[in-house]
Chains A and B, each alone.
Chain A
């Protein structure tokens, strides 16, 4: 079982994700350069936080065209687990691997702070080791995390249980005061309809050690390891020659 952390030139949480998987979780992990045309045999891919190509245009807008993203798209379509954290989430949206878009935070300010998110489904490779309804404390760190989509898409997300995390109060109440960026329906993270692609704005890698104040984020990485252990067949099914056509429909 091997994790791959994609490195765009402006990724800056790549080392942190790598550290958590390698040192805290104790699993094999490798960096994947953005110009790479393969995924170095990774069984799970992480798109880390940062500012992929500066993001002066629009977060993730350029990153989706990088060579590695074609491979990530193929990998995702073949059922491989892909986790996009913060900028990674933004890139997944731009790449069409997840539906919707990011707006500037309500209030138009960058925000770095711990928030509470509630686990809305455990039926994903990223939350299978979590407890349904449990409230996690994980920090956010972004200027564009205000998730938006049209009513039809939102209905589909709800219907298919694709909303994986929602911002709530510490007690787990869904409340506007608990929403740090104005995201639609308090959405903090969503998965693809096939459930193998997760995008989340909070940074689980910053909440994976007691010394840093919370270990709640480790749940995400533990789930991935557990899921990979339970689905060896899915790994084999990850065909190298999956079609590189249009993005996955939701």
Chain B
């Protein structure tokens, strides 16, 4: 297969080495680590305040029921209990949790009170809250709350939910369809008419539980009419605005702090009912309150991810050239629309074409209500689903035509000389080099040798078969150009803010609206500022995650921080230098145009020794004794960056698996990821992001699934049932990079947070299917547990499970957990 992509590697795609003095590009160890490795971390649950009370929530044990009676008197009477509130007690005060993305004008948007009123619609929905002197007393009192439920029919299956006469999640809405959203480009009928090859498949994106290691936690204090809310959140700025909107507490009286946050992966990109309720309780009681969830309640109540049924059609010519792709999705919203629930599958609408050229494309998505935990962003958010679909379809096309899967991709992908390229989905991919990434990945993987081994093992009838999976992915990152969000009816813009303050001593404070929760911004942002300002790395401090300190921001998600927030910082630094240049010229009695700025110093061109450092200029500006005419005595600068375009990381991932045809067990033998994320600020951090992303994508392929029974009970509420892989379950990855800088921002960066997750799932499942293809298998539903692989091999997948019951093998199959399915 060495004909693939050998022609195109150019100098530009070799990762650049940092220059000797440059901070950007340097594999700096993270400054965040000091507190994290010594236990000096400020997690929300660590916070203690005088008079702190503890909150516990009682949650519905039934997926759909009318609440006919709640008696909280016995709970109120228990020792140490300060208050018990129900949804009715909070009344209008609790408002309705916001959905910021009305994707269509006629989208069905049900009320979503933080504590249920009258009816519960998923297992885990809050029905009452207890406030007590400590967490044990609060949890004890939950048992004393007496509730009568009248069960209603549970809506669990999406396809049944939209059938005629289906039971309804929201009876007053008269339908389980929230919306249908359509995008079409090109003449699909023409593309499919008389097409020599048509591939049709149905894939299921199983429901996932994001599982950040830090469970959610909220602390809220009220002093007079001033409120401070600490939350384990990715979005302190958005949360502040939304809490003000929901509760009526004026935005300027509310400060939101995201202290150290232990991972998010989208799950903490949310405005949660528990946050609203804690704020209202602190307000009512005039005492600070804390709520920390247990993992078991979190698995029910943190929003879930994925959960789509994908019907896909691909038309192609006999030579493998794609004519058109048709996508028809059912996307499970769960019981309510949360912050960006309906928009998540639509983030995939522009990605089902992947890196490929085609004449026509059609995308239809119907959002469906079920009696399950609401879904929303989870690492990749719509794009992993799209990438999985198109990459699996490319494999199927290759199989149909008897071509190597990389060859069929090569015949369709955008060639490196064709950038910038306007895709069928309406995006402009600014840069990329799929040939170079693929060639490098094939070399690291030893592709041809593994294919030869595969052929040999197939010939020998080896009971352990080798499968090779391919994913040549791209993604849209750097969310997002505000005008695009506007055109998609999103409720806000996509800019980011940064401030740079040069202190009198010459030290620098960077304030960023990005809100890191494990990504290492404190290090990377200091590298950018140190480079732009020519100051030592150690002289830069990065402040974030507190609306009292960083008042303006759009927070961290969608691989946006560097591509949007990092560029805002870059621009703010340039403004500082521009101001300082004028002051320096004044101090040096020189013309601004005769100054050059390098290594933190303004020098008069051609006059050695005539120079002022940025620190000297800062001190002189602080003193303000001698300023240029009309000069405002400050170097501090702000910048708000709104990107012109998304960024488009891409790469080639190759996965080899050994599949035991007798037991169905899958073992990843090697995994090569070559990613092109543009310019890199810190290669250490980038590699770490790729590793973690791979782990989560592999977990979807092989291990994880949120399983509901026919009555809508979540059966994977604990980590013993929902199988997050351990070190023993994952392989050692081979990672490398190619580098085509983004052309739409001055840093040339594209974003890396989601790449590994987006790319890896189809590579792994593709490898499993590749191993089994000689046995007539063309799909194994995710996660590819031993039982499911075993059943696929024996052709028993077609036997439908009992009405509404999970498919056999659901729930994952970790080697380390002994196959808990």
Whether both chains belong to one complex is answered with no
- List chain A positions with a Cβ less than 8 A from chain B: none
- List chain B positions with a Cβ less than 8 A from chain A: none
